[in-house]
Amino acid sequence: MDKATQVIYQMDEAKQMAFHEISWRKVRHQREGQRSQRFLKEVREMAMLYQLLFGLTFEAATDIVHNKIRAIDFQDSAEELEDSGDEQEAEKHWKMAEQKLYEHYSALLERLKKS
């Protein structure tokens, strides 16, 4: 465990949750670097948040958050398409976002029922 991670885990749980929530959002907002690297950082931070929120293992949380991040990607593109006036294409992206969120929440609920 690196020094930064050690410091984080000395915080109380609510502070840790807030830290990881902001961390994945900050990574998402970054435009420099490869998208694949940002995606992995985003997954890591969101998985750590889910680990704290739902008591999941890091591995289980990692599996679950992928579809949520993909849903957010579709949401971002839907908003950009709406802003450019392409309502028809935007609606397709909104539907894909909804589908990915459905998959995300289905997996999360299934995992929580096993706990």
pLDDT tens digits for 15-66? 888 999 899 888 887 766 677 778 888 899 999 999 999 999 999 999 999 9
Task: Indicate the pLDDT class of residue 73, thresholds 50, 70 and 90.
Answer: very high
Does residue 17 or residue 103 have the better pLDDT? 103
Query: Contact at 8 Å (CB) between 28 and 10?
Result: no
As given in the structure block, the two tokens for residue 56 are: 């999941």
Is residue 3 predicted with pLDDT exceeding 80?
Answer: no
Domain around 85: 3-114
* Stretch 1-16: mean pLDDT: 69
Nearest to 104 by CA among 22, 46, 37: 46
* Overall domain count for the chain: 1
